[in-house]
Amino acid sequence: MPVVLWHRPMAMIAEDFRLEFDYLVTGWTAYGLIALGLLFFIPVVISIGRLPDSRLYPRSRPAYAAWGVSLYTLGIMLAAQVAIIAEGPSTP
């Protein structure tokens, strides 16, 4: 979903790619947080329907879910701000 919503700002950021710390932090942090949040959801999704005594049930499942929700939400909020800034000032 983020790629669909923010493909224009992502393309604008990728157009001016350079391997500098400031550029990577300001331009791609939001999308990195979204990806990291989704990675934290993988153990939670795998354990759906399993008993807590199962070998594949993560013992820290609530923590994985909380980190996933937190990072994904922060990434979405930051990506929305980046998209607004990338659009530039509106002209009446």
Residue 6 lies in a domain: yes
Q: What is the dihedral of CA 85, 36, 32, 87, to 10 degrees?
A: -20
- Domain membership flag for residue 67: no
In a domain, 82, yes or no: no
- Does 4 map to a domain? yes
Q: Is residue 7 part of a domain?
A: yes
List the structure tokens of 48: 């759906």
DSSP, res 20: -
Residues in the chain: 92
Q: What predicted TM-score, i.e. pTM, was given to this entire model?
A: 0.74
Asked whether residue 62 is domain-assigned, the answer is no
Q: How many domains does the chain have?
A: 1
pLDDT digits (tens, 9 = 90+) for 14-47: 676 667 777 666 777 888 899 999 999 999 998 8
Is residue 10 within 8 Å of 31, Cβ to Cβ?
Answer: yes
Q: Is 89 part of a structural domain of the chain?
A: no
- Which structural domain range is residue 21 located in? 1-47
